[in-house]
Amino acid sequence: MRQACRNNSTIFGLSSGFGKCGVAVIRVSGSASRAIIHKKTRLKQCPEPRRALLTKIFHGSTKEMIDRGLLLWFPGPNSFTGEDTIEFHVHGGSAIVSAMYDSLATFPDTRVAEPGEFTKRAFFAGKMDLTEVEGLADLIHAETEAQRKQALRQANGQLSCFYNEMRTQLVNAIASIEAYIDFSEDQDVDDGVLSVAVQKIETVIEELEVHLNDNRRGERLRNGVRTAIVGAPNVGKSSLINLLSQRNVSIVTSIAGTTRDIVESHYDIGGYPVILADTAGLRANTDDVVESEGIARARTYVEGADLLLLVVDASRIESVDRTDTFIAEYIQALGIEERMIPHTLIILNKCDLLDNITLERLKNNSTFSCLSCENKAGLPELMERIKTRLEQLCGNPEVESPTISQERHRFHLKQCLTYLERFRDYFHETSATDRDLAIVTHHLRNAVRCIGKITGTVETEEILDVIFSTFCIGK
């Protein structure tokens, strides 16, 4: 059980979102919940826990009837917050919600909840740790199926279990080392205990290294895959982003250099979140100052992109046999760095301008995709290739071990690994007679604290404020 919530006020908030709707859910949590039930429903006893009751709902002060709706009663500690909790399910008109707010505010020491305060109380009550809290926030904000699956696994505690098991191994290792320090001279603890403890630490180091060496798949899935559409001027980049987005995101003309700035569009491809960016056409020389700035911004965006969609004008390929050479020269002329080539999908656009024999020969080459933005030929095949690449970049949250989804986690895990490596290096590089285990074990304690900062075992007020501020009022 963590420390009690610092504010004992009873709180209430709209949990179903704002705006007119069929049903509005108003949640109440705190010690005044029982009094609120009796006064607002005129029931002499609280209803059966966790079972909906249709009842009249009255104003706490004016005694007027507000609505007829459902009441759910969750007595603490068996509730989301660990406190006595009520849910009123009323009609979703703004006047009804306002009347409910006005009525609840008349009860002593009762106020509107702050953003994320219900979840914060759940955290302080020990109902969830910080990784589960963050998973819940990600679940609320998930826009694609893969994001939902990753967030659900984290909200359900799978990442928490992984970190807690790691922490338990370290705590046990510390206990064994301290027992060795205290009792080895009395022969009650032999050297085998120390060896087992050190082996546990080596195992945790290996697990951490594998966990950190994930190519940032979880963070990329959470935040979206930054995908830049690049190529020379007038090859069909803007047509491609419009085609993939299924709306007119960019202006399309026959004039080269129409796109001058980065034009982003968020898209769901196969359940994966993608941030598509149309960029200015890349070329070495231009007299247009604005276009030059656009090209500079495009190159900067490409440097931070996760995936490149390189668009090539297929009609400019003079010989099918020289296609690979043409593309290699094209990439070099655009100034795309070699390190980005493995993260690039090559798209031959304007294939509707080719004759059937040439097109069929090009389709036999698996290193690129043939497409016509004009008539959408080749689009299904391209989408499948993009989806496959996205799965490689983001992983499959259904079958893989929980991955790091927050930069905050990665920071503390790297610190944890550093402390463990310091202990390991000291232990192996120092002779048994010269080791001062009592001092060096502080590296292990610091490693345990790093994991505690991830799960919330070690509380930092600034961290809590940032995390809970991402929630809405009623959550």
Q: What distance in Å separates the CA atoms of residue 416 and residue 418, rounded to the nearest whole number?
A: 5
Spell out the domains of the chain, with CATH numbers in brackets. 10-121 (3.30.1360.120), 162-214+404-456 (1.20.120.430), 220-394 (3.40.50.300)
Q: Do residues 27 and 10 lie in contact, with contact meaning Cβ atoms separated by under 8 Å? A: no
Which two structure tokens, joined as six digits, stand for 468? Answer: 């809970």
Question: How high is the pLDDT of residue 4?
Answer: 46
The predicted-structure confidence for 326-361, as pLDDT tens digits, reads as follows 999 988 888 888 888 999 999 999 999 988 888 889
d(CA 386, CA 276): 12
Q: Mean pLDDT, 10 residues at a time, over the chain (475 residues)?
A: 62 86 93 94 93 94 92 95 95 93 94 92 92 92 93 93 92 83 59 82 94 92 93 88 75 49 84 89 72 81 91 89 89 88 92 90 88 91 94 87 90 96 88 79 92 81 62 65
Task: Output the pLDDT for position 187.
Answer: 54
pTM score, whole prediction: 0.82
The two three-digit tokens of residue 236, written as one number: 């069909």
Model confidence pLDDT, tens digit, residues 292-316: 788 888 888 888 899 999 999 998 9
Encoded tokens for 72? 């759910």
Q: Is-contact 81 122, C-beta < 8 A? A: yes
Residue 380 has a CB neighbour count (10 Å cut-off) of 9
Length of the chain: 475
